[in-house]
Amino acid sequence: MDDKARRSMINAAMAAPYLERAEERALAQRWRDHQDQDAMHRITIAHMRLVISMAARFRHFGLSMGDLIQEGHVGLLEAAARFEPERDVRFSTYATWWIRASMQDYILRNWSIVRGGTSSAQKALFFNLRRLRARLASGDRMLSGPALYKEISSELGVSEADVALMDCRLSNPDSSLNAPVGDEGAGSADRMDFLVSDDPLPDEIVGETIDVERRSGWLRKALGVLTERERQIIAKRRLQDDGATLESLGASLGISKERVRQIESRALEKLRVALVSENAAFLA
């Protein structure tokens, strides 16, 4: 919404007449019972002052006043669509929650590129932290640091770690990883260049690949000294992620599980001897 449209909307809202309780209820009934668009329009335009007033309360989050008004208008329309006149509650009282919820959701989606405040406790922390911090830091107790975080966490029902994290987020704007560090110029580095990766280095990856291939070759060659039954038992017991049990192998081979254990133990010893003798020079 541009400035001209915003000013026009504000002027129209300020010029709209207030609704008496009886007239407000009659318009709400016309909308609910007959879907009268004119009645809906008159209810919403009469309460745009409420939207503008609430948008002004959220302007310190740095978002466009026009966008906040638009989002509040969406909440106002939702309230008008759901309002039940027989409850004998003024429409402004009912609509306030919907307007605030719509604006707060918009702020949480657009204030930062990092999504936050997904739970009700986190939302309360996001929208009340500044106020609580200012109150607790300027009162008689003059709280700060961990003591301040502890008091806020107790009052809002969130952890102290969440309070500290949200305080950090609200105190520091988003920064692009592509932003240059130091003086701008052809040779300046970006923030991304200083990120530390936990992934292995390229030479480590290559070295590990070579080692795996070498060990696989040794194992294939060593398996050649085993009998067919020994290779079958070693393959199913040791070379599979989900190794077979002694009992299941015994049943498939027609022998006892103790005999399977003995064959496996003998085969492992033969493999150890073969691997050591074949690679004695390399291991030395």
107-136: pLDDT as tens digits: 888 776 555 555 666 677 777 677 777 776
Q: Taking 70 as the threshold, does the pLDDT of residue 265 lie above it?
A: yes
CATH number at residue 80: 1.20.120.1810
Same domain for 94 and 132, yes or no, is: no
Tell whether 276 and 207 lie within a shared domain.
yes
In terms of residue numbers, what domain contains 61? Answer: 3-110
pTM above 0.85, yes or no: no
The verdict on residue 197 lying in a domain is no
**Dihedral Cα 150, 154, 159, 163, nearest 10 deg:** -60
Instruction: Assess if residue 182 is contained within a domain.
Output: no
Helix (H) or strand (E) run with residue 168 in it: helix 160-171
Q: How many domains does the chain have?
A: 3
pLDDT at 95: 92
> Which of these ranges, 67-76, 97-106, 118-127, has the smallest mean pLDDT?
118-127
pLDDT at 155 over 80: no
CA 233 centroid distance within chain: 47
CATH code of the domain containing 246: 1.10.10.10
Tell me whether residue 191 is in a domain: no
Pair 116, 126: CB distance under 8 Å:
yes
Flag whether 196 is in a domain: no
Q: Among 91, 110, 129, where does a domain finish?
A: 110
Q: Three-state SS across 201-260?
A: CHHHHHHHHHHHHHHHHHHHHHHHHCCHHHHHHHHHHHCCCCCCCHHHHHHHHCCCHHHH
Q: Is residue 124 part of a domain?
A: yes
Residues 149, 243 within the same domain: no
- pLDDT digit string, tens, across residues 6-56: 677 777 777 778 888 888 889 888 988 888 888 888 888 899 999 999 998
Residue predicted with more confidence, 283 or 183: 183
pLDDT for 161 beyond 70:
yes
Whether residue 128 is contained in a domain is answered as yes
Looking at every residue in the chain, the average pLDDT score rounds to 80
Same domain (yes/no): 90, 53: yes
Check if the beta carbon of residue 150 is closer than 8 Å to that of residue 136: no
Residue 138 domain flag: yes
Phi, psi angle pair for 180, to nearest 5°: -70, 150
Indicate whether 140 pLDDT > 70.
no
Give 185-210 pLDDT, tens digit per residue. Answer: 555 677 777 777 778 888 888 888 88
Residue 228 lies in a domain: yes
pLDDT of residue 75: 93
Residues 11 and 61 in one domain: yes
